[in-house]
Structure 1
């Protein structure tokens, strides 16, 4: 944590307004916010750029992309983790919940082996050694259609910074992959399956769900409670599925696939998270509901970068145009995800909170990052 840093002559994005002023960070914490165009001696003149809280990312597959840049390619993990951390910092993300799959399949063309416990050890060690620029927590993606979910979850404990456990039911023919054609396109490209191998893969997943699905879901809910982690649902499609999520104690819903599910989430007090790529591209790559449609209906609370870290900031500014309300839009990538993850020390420009701030200039409706500070230290 640095000494004193003052960012002045900035447009400060506060919870319900944008004002001209300065932010002072001292010993890693925001110590003062002043509404004024005065530039104190020694302050950084932001030249009218926006200053906003650091972005809070609840679900990113980016760490998996770094450790396995191509199928079956296992990249050196420490190098991958440091590159992942630096990439996120360069996009304005100052808090991340790194998504790691738990629950494996050990046979067939569609096999995927356990890796989360070992990778988490390496990530936590890198953090303890001060090698990382931003704040990292774990998000365990509990794969219901797997052979070893509960054993893998049992390997984690209360000291592992597990902040989120999400229930992932990728049974073919429902939720994200109601359209088997979309699933086949995705899997065939990623795993190189032929028609027969794909059919065998689908049959195996359906069998696993039939035999173990109920046990795995109930067990994952209990493990989330043991770890004191927020429970998330994934790809809820129907009101009935949302009711089950509510009964399980889900705090937020990742990527509901229909308006029906999003409306049910709102009725049950479950925050709705959608993907930034969906918003930017104008629709879901799986053919599900568009994030912009939910935004216009007032059914969108949180944005996640999902598989494109740089999409998070861009999506927030695009959402600001849809709503004509930049503070409300910025909250979807700062205050709202922080609240959903039970983090009360970040997500807002407010004295007493972490000195995680961004300097952003807008050019042709595109946000350009001009500085990133994590606990007062400039990291990008």
Structure 2
């Protein structure tokens, strides 16, 4: 029987922060006590915080390791392991790795390397090489011609735990403004005015032809399999109503206050990006995550494109004026994402749950990770 005792820690529980000890036994939390341990083998946490491990539902970080520079493909196992190590070093002990089905850019590595990324992720998990718990999140670009076919080919992948429906066609959600769409894609791909208009025409045609059918069919397949479903970039009440119709559980990155509040009222967990919190606002001019904190409707934080932002954002919203108390702030990156996707064995400090734990020290108000445990095993 493997046992570790962590003592003299500030334990962040569901509703309170207490000083005490926590016992890990065989990878699980065995006991929590308000008294310090007197056992010589106990690990003295020196009054650091002890939190549940963070749970990340939407990050495209793995893609960056597979293609660290344009036109540079990295060996798949090394890429997957480097990503895994970065998750552990960021305090993320459960990660839903988001890979894209369909891309407006036909030359994107996302389109060509999809199967390779899924296979590499499965391999490091099956071989026992992963430090943290990995699940798969399929981001389905519903306006792409091949999305439904490729989704069906991956829908029964054992690691699949979350599916999101997105449409980045001009005039949709994040790009409701065609002017904003032109600025973004002309800058991203270096298109001249003529090529940009050709590109827009093609994307509009694809959206018109494929989006509704793909959205409806994929949502139905998720319901059949019991897979959690997320919307993406909802901007209007009509978008929220559509998401409710499909049985959506998570509202990823709503772009407006009205969409966020309506999603929250409808029982969907509202997810916002931790980089939005750290930077003080959205890089694309959408609603600020801190505004939703002040309104009490931000339910889940995601590191999105910057893994280290997640822990930082948790402590930022705990100390901001009008923010959340620390237990509620921690829950946005632990208990609430776990509940949203049906993981009932983690996300909290409680006896009988997985010993996914973080030891955190505040230095100049900045959270610094001291230790990370994944199922009782120290991984950082």
Pair in the same fold by TM > 0.5: yes
Q: What residue in structure 2 maps to residue 307 of structure 1?
A: 305
1:92 and 1:200 mapped to 2: Cα distance? 44
Q: What residue in structure 2 maps to residue 354 of structure 1?
A: 354
Alpha-carbon offset, residue 23 of structure 1: 1.1
Q: What residue in structure 1 maps to residue 142 of structure 2?
A: 144
Change (3 A) 1:293 1:180: same
Q: What residue in structure 2 maps to residue 13 of structure 1?
A: 12
Does 2:350 correspond to 1:343? no
1:216 counterpart (209, 214, 217): 214
Superposed, 1:57-206 pairs within 5 Å as 57-104=56-103, 113-206=111-204
Alpha-carbon offset, residue 204 of structure 1: 1.4
Gap runs ≥5 in structure 1? none
Alpha-carbon offset, residue 158 of structure 1: 3.3
Q: What residue in structure 2 maps to residue 36 of structure 1?
A: 35
Alpha-carbon offset, residue 111 of structure 1: 9.2
Change (3 A) 1:153 1:38: same
Task: Give 3-state SS (helix, strand or coil) of 1:72's partner.
Answer: coil
1:177, 1:286 within 8 Å by CA — same for their partners in 2? Answer: no
Between stretches 365-374 and 185-194, larger displacement belongs to 185-194
1:245 and 1:39 mapped to 2: Cα distance? 53
Using structure 1 for the length normalisation, give the TM-score: 0.95
Superposed, 1:225-244 pairs within 5 Å as 225-244=223-242
* Structure 1 residue ranges (4+ consecutive) displaced by more than 4 angstroms after TM superposition: 104-107, 109-112
Q: What residue in structure 2 maps to residue 332 of structure 1?
A: 332
Task: Give 3-state SS (helix, strand or coil) of 2:305's partner.
Answer: coil
Task: Give 3-state SS (helix, strand or coil) of 2:210's partner.
Answer: helix
Alpha-carbon offset, residue 182 of structure 1: 4.2
Task: Give 3-state SS (helix, strand or coil) of 1:171's partner.
Answer: coil
2:108 and 2:125 mapped to 1: Cα distance? 33
Task: Give 3-state SS (helix, strand or coil) of 1:24's partner.
Answer: strand
Gap runs ≥5 in structure 2? none
1:7, 1:46 within 8 Å by CA — same for their partners in 2? Answer: yes
1:206 and 1:110 mapped to 2: Cα distance? 19
2:8, 2:46 within 8 Å by CA — same for their partners in 1? Answer: yes
1:105-136: CA deviations, max 9, x gaps? 685x7796243233212211111101110000
1:140-176: CA deviations, max 9, x gaps? 0010121101110111243522111000111113311
1:80 and 1:235 mapped to 2: Cα distance? 29
Between stretches 218-227 and 18-27, larger displacement belongs to 218-227
2:46 and 2:109 mapped to 1: Cα distance? 53
1:110, 1:191 within 8 Å by CA — same for their partners in 2? Answer: no
Change (3 A) 1:343 1:324: closer
Task: Give 3-state SS (helix, strand or coil) of 1:100's partner.
Answer: strand
Change (3 A) 1:158 1:114: same
2:20 and 2:178 mapped to 1: Cα distance? 53
CA RMSD between the two structures: 1.8
1:105, 1:148 within 8 Å by CA — same for their partners in 2? Answer: no
Between stretches 212-221 and 150-159, larger displacement belongs to 150-159
Between stretches 200-209 and 313-322, larger displacement belongs to 200-209
Does 2:252 correspond to 1:250? no
Change (3 A) 1:185 1:47: farther
Q: How many residue pairs align between the two structures?
A: 378
Change (3 A) 1:296 1:104: closer
Alpha-carbon offset, residue 104 of structure 1: 4.8
Change (3 A) 1:133 1:110: closer
Alpha-carbon offset, residue 201 of structure 1: 2.1
Alpha-carbon offset, residue 249 of structure 1: 0.3
Using structure 2 for the length normalisation, give the TM-score: 0.95
1:235, 1:254 within 8 Å by CA — same for their partners in 2? Answer: yes
2:45 and 2:38 mapped to 1: Cα distance? 9
1:77 and 1:141 mapped to 2: Cα distance? 20
Alpha-carbon offset, residue 184 of structure 1: 4.3
Between stretches 185-194 and 98-107, larger displacement belongs to 185-194
2:169 and 2:349 mapped to 1: Cα distance? 42
Alpha-carbon offset, residue 366 of structure 1: 0.6
